[in-house]
Structure 1
Amino acid sequence: MKILIVEDEKHLNDLLFDYISEAYPKADINQVYDGLVALDHIHQTSYDLLLLDVMLPHMNGFEICKRVRESFQMPIIMLSALSDEENQLKGYNLGIDDYVTKPYSPKIVIKKIASVLSRYENHTPKQESTYGVITYNFEKFEISINKTPISLNKKEWELFQLFVTHIGRVYTREELLNLVWGYDYFGYERTVDTHIKRLRQKLLDASSYIQTVYKSGYKFEK
């Protein structure tokens, strides 16, 4: 397992390194302190987990996350002193898996790492499947609409997978937050709406498959 720690404060970077090394002794852990250097590492190495600070030299964590999600599906845990709701929502809307505010307990970070990794390790169907005009392969992260390939970020993939494997089931926003983000983010229902809107836009001719159920939530059905 390869892990990248992106944190410009050396003592925090080293602290995370020590705790992760103890929890995952076989992990290959890289440490960087600069945003542009981090992006270069990500494009050169296939990482299984990214621990990402927000306030970094040369490129902030939000911009890194945005660029990563354009091409990669790796888990991202954001670590930041910016604890306000606006910045946390910004992170989740960019597709991060968890947002940890400073000061934090390294032991809690380790627990969050384990939780995020376990969600990614869940087995998904390997065969190509079709529903309506959609053809998809979860193992290869491939999806096309009427034979036109489209690209989904990690959270969009998780939403799509949940919907297409439970055709017709109505999910509340709270349920989607719990099932896709892994926690009960009270008051963060806007995160769901934002991701649903983007997923609909990307599904092109299949956008109508995601249906809004009045006063209930969303369902996926032709």
Structure 2
Amino acid sequence: MIKILTIDDDIHILNLLNIHLTEAGYAVLQAKNGMDALALLEKESCDAAVVDVMMPYLDGYALTKKIRQQYDIPIILLTAKDQIEDKERGFLSGTDDYLVKPFEPRELIFRLEALLRRYQKQTDDTIARLGTTTINKRSYEVQIDDRTFLLPLKEFELLYFLATHPMQVFSREQLIEQIWGLDYEGNERTVDVHVKRLRERFSKLTDDFELKTVRGVGYALEEKRG
């Protein structure tokens, strides 16, 4: 489920956002200020952020800059101000969109959906998602819930390739060609070794996927759907 982080020091706004975003099918996380939001982002993987401008400790502009430095997620700023200078400051801080209070919740959801579609298109070629597991080819990291794993290069490339072709069966020869290249002079059993290592790493950590052996053919990644 797509997770939206909402940050506002006004509990009424947080409640309003929670009601409408939940009804729209999103999971909602809440923070009452910028510092709490950054702490939450370190623990939870979020898909977008809705940020109020006027907050204690760390205002929305500063928070947006910090989020943008560390996370590649869409951000919508909420503000009571409608001056062009405020909008300019918001976009300079890195926000993707800007909504003035009081706002219509449906408009927020329309804008959020548009941003999520845009970001999804940008990340389709670099990120594979299997339940709570994210396989990021830009950073070569695998994230499961709040844990991050760095794999040896070929293990990562093998996992990423299978994850981006779920339920497709590949022979050892095909996997050698895709991961190690046509000029690879090693043994096809290299694939078996790497699959075994991946199973050992992840079989007890997640039920999101399973690396299946198809006898007489090769391997496939089966995505488990809850």
Write out aligned runs for 1:129-208 (5 A). Answer: 140=138
Distance 2:39 2:72 in 1: 16
* Contact 2:62–2:93 (CA under 8 A) maintained in structure 1: no
TM-score, normalised on structure 1? 0.54
5+ residue gaps, structure 2, are 127-135, 141-226
Which amino acid letter does the alignment assign opposite residue 7 of structure 1? D
1:63 equivalent to 2:62? Answer yes
* Contact 1:125–1:139 (CA under 8 A) maintained in structure 2: no
Distance 2:73 2:42 in 1: 12
Q: Which residue of 1 aligns with 2:189?
A: none
SS at match of 1:70: helix
Which amino acid letter does the alignment assign opposite residue 3 of structure 1? I
Write out aligned runs for 1:1-222 (5 A). Answer: 1-24=2-25, 27-122=26-121, 126=125, 140=138
* Contact 1:124–1:139 (CA under 8 A) maintained in structure 2: no
141 and 55 in structure 1: CA distance in 2 versus 1, 3 angstrom threshold? same
Distance 2:108 2:117 in 1: 14
CA RMSD of aligned residues (A): 2.0
Distance 2:123 2:8 in 1: 32
Structure 1 stretches of at least 4 aligned residues deviating more than 6 Å after TM superposition: none
SS at match of 1:122: helix
Deviation at 1:3, TM superposition (A): 1.1
Deviation at 1:28, TM superposition (A): 2.4
* Contact 2:21–2:27 (CA under 8 A) maintained in structure 1: no
Deviation at 1:76, TM superposition (A): 0.4
From the CA coordinates, give the structure whose radius of gyration is larger: 2
Deviation at 1:124, TM superposition (A): 5.4
Residue deviations 1:153-208 (CA, integer Å, cap 9, x gap) = xxxxxxxxxxxxxxxxxxxxxxxxxxxxxxxxxxxxxxxxxxxxxxxxxxxxxxxx
Distance 1:3 1:32 in 2: 11
* Contact 1:36–1:59 (CA under 8 A) maintained in structure 2: yes
Deviation at 1:90, TM superposition (A): 1.1
5+ residue gaps, structure 1, are 128-137, 143-222
* Contact 1:81–1:103 (CA under 8 A) maintained in structure 2: yes
* Contact 1:2–1:47 (CA under 8 A) maintained in structure 2: yes
SS at match of 2:70: coil
Deviation at 1:59, TM superposition (A): 0.9
Distance 1:124 1:34 in 2: 28
Which amino acid letter does the alignment assign opposite residue 9 of structure 1? D
123 and 89 in structure 1: CA distance in 2 versus 1, 3 angstrom threshold? closer
